Amino acid sequence: MPEPTATPPPSSTEGTPAPKIKTRKPKQRACDEKDEKGKLCMGHLKRWYDYPPEIAKILGKASEVYRCEFCKTLYRPDPKQLPNSYTLRY
C-alpha cells in the first residue's frame, strides 16, 4: 500500500496575481481597460465597500475604491474630485 505524501495546500497568495489598480479620470463611469484583442471593456465602475483584507493592505483601510463589473480592475478616485463619502449626511 503506497504511503500518502504530505503536501501543503496551495497558498491563495501564490496563485492570485496582484490586482490592476488605476486612477479614475474626471467623471469617468466606465472601465477603459483593453483586453488582449484591443477592445475596451466598458464595464460600469461600481463603488466597492467590502473589499478583502489583501486589497485593504494595498490601498489602505476605509479608502474609496471602485471596481469594474466585468474585468474586476480596481480604480482609485480622481484626486481632483471631491470624495463621494458622506454625501447624504443631514
87: in domain: no
Per-residue confidence band for 48, with pLDDT thresholds at 50, 70 and 90: very high
Which residues form the domain of 58? 17-76
pLDDT at 85: 67
**HSE-up (13 A, CA, CB side) for residue 66:** 21
50: in domain: yes
33: in domain: yes
19/66 Cα distance (integer angstroms): 12
* More confident: 65 or 88: 65
- Total domains in the fold of the chain: 1
86: in domain: no
44: in domain: yes
- Tens digits of residue pLDDT in 56-84: 999 988 888 999 999 999 999 998 887 76
